[in-house]
Chain A
Amino acid sequence: MNSLALIFGPILLAGIMGLIGRKADTLGKYVALGLFSAMFLYSVDLLTVLPVKGYYDLGRFLIVAPFDFALTLQVDYLSTVMLILTSILLLLVTLSSWTMKAPSRYFALLILFSGPIFGVFMSTNLLWFFIFWELTLIPMFFLIGIWGAERRIYASVKFFLYTHVASMLILLAFFLIYHQSGSFDMNLIKESMLTTPILIWWLLFIGFAVKMPIFPFHTWLPDAHVQAPAPISVLLAGVLLKMGAYALIRMVILMMPEQSHHFGSVILVLGLITLFYAGFMALYETHLKKMVAYSSISHMGLVTVAISTMSYSGLGAALYEMIAHAFIISPLFLIAGFLHHKSGSWQMEDMGGVMQKAPYLSALFVLAGVAALGLPGTMGFIGELTILISAIKHYGLSLMIVALGSMVGAGYMIWTFRRVVYGEMSKTVEKSDFTMNPIEFLALVLFAIFILFFGLFPSTLFDVINMAFTSFGGIQ
Chain B
Amino acid sequence: MIGAFSLLFMSALFSLGLHRTRQLKSFAVVALLSASYFIYFPAPASISGFATSNAVTLFEILLLIVVLAIILHEEEELTITQTLFITAGAIALLEARTLVSFIISFEALSILSFVLVSHIKNSIHAEGAIKLFIAGAIATGLLLLGTALYLIGGGNLLEPFSLHSSTLSLIGIFIILMGVFYKLTIVPMHGWAADTYAQIRPSHAAILSALVKTVVAIAAFRLFAPILAEQSYFSLPLLVTLSLITMTLGNFLALFQQKIGRILAYSSIAHAGYILLAFAAVKSTFASTGLLYMVIAYLFMQTAVFLTLDILRNRYAFQTLNDLKGLAKHNPLLSFFFSVQLFSLAGIPLLAGFMGKAVVFYAAVDAGLWYAVLIALINSALSVGYYAWIIKHLYFDETTQEHKPLKHPLVILSQSILLLGTLYFGLFASYIFIVGKSF
Residues on A facing B (Cβ under 8 Å): 11, 18, 21, 62-67, 69, 127, 130-132, 134-135, 137-138, 141-142, 145-146, 152-153, 156-157, 160-161, 164-165, 167-169, 171-172, 175-176, 178-179
Contact = CB atoms under 8 A, between A and B. Distances in A.
A153 B396 contact: yes
Nearest to A160: B388
Contact of B332 (A21, A65, A171): A21
A244 to B, nearest CB: 17
A65 B437 CA distance: 12
Contacts of B378: 165, 168
A64 B359 CA distance: 13
Contacts of B392: 145, 153, 156-157
21 contacts: A62-B428, A64-B429, A64-B430, A64-B433, A69-B429, A130-B349, A131-B354, A134-B348, A135-B348, A135-B350, A145-B395, A146-B396, A160-B384, A165-B382, A168-B380, A168-B381, A169-B377, A172-B377, A175-B362, A175-B373, A176-B365
B338 to A, nearest CB: 14
A153 B377 CA distance: 24
Interface string B278-290: 0000000010010
> Which interface residue of A138, A161, A171 has the most chain B CB atoms within 10 A?
A171
Per DSSP, are chain A's interface residues mostly helix, strand or loop, or mixed? helix
A157 B385 contact: yes
Contact of B430 (A65, A130, A161): A65
A157 B437 contact: no
B385 A161 contact: yes
Contacts of A157: 385, 388-389, 392
Nearest to B429: A64
A178 B428 CA distance: 20
B252 interface: no
A64 B437 CA distance: 13
A138 B395 CA distance: 13
A66 B434 contact: yes
Given A135-B349, A157-B385, A179-B366, 13 more contacts: A62-B430, A64-B433, A66-B437, A67-B286, A67-B429, A146-B395, A157-B389, A160-B384, A165-B378, A168-B377, A171-B361, A172-B373, A179-B365
Nearest to A15: B336
B374 A172 contact: yes
B370 interface: yes
Nearest to B370: A176
Contacts, number: 96
Given A21-B332, A65-B433, A131 B350 contact: yes
B427 interface: yes
A131 B350 CA distance: 7
Contacts of B348: 134-135, 137-138
A105 B343 CA distance: 19
B137 interface: no
B145 interface: no
A18 B349 contact: no
B358 interface: yes
Contact of A161 (B365, B388, B434): B388
Interface of B: 286, 289, 332, 336, 343, 348-350, 354, 358-359, 361-362, 365-366, 370, 373-374, 377-378, 380-382, 384-385, 388-389, 392, 395-396, 427-430, 433-434, 437
A64 B293 CA distance: 14
Contacts of B366: 179
B222 to A, nearest CB: 20
Contacts of A152: 396
Nearest to B427: A62
A161 B428 contact: no
3 smallest beta-carbon distances between A and B, as pairs: A168-B377, A131-B349, A165-B381
A178 B286 CA distance: 13
A134 B395 CA distance: 20
A66 B433 CA distance: 7
Contact of A175 (B365, B381, B395): B365
A127 B350 CA distance: 11
B76 to A, nearest CB: 31
A178 B362 contact: yes
B434 to A, nearest CB: 7
Nearest to A171: B377
A167 B370 contact: no
Contacts of A18: 336
A127 B427 CA distance: 12
A262 to B, nearest CB: 21
B107 to A, nearest CB: 36
B86 to A, nearest CB: 33
Nearest to A133: B349
Contacts of B359: 67
Contacts of A127: 358
Nearest to B426: A131
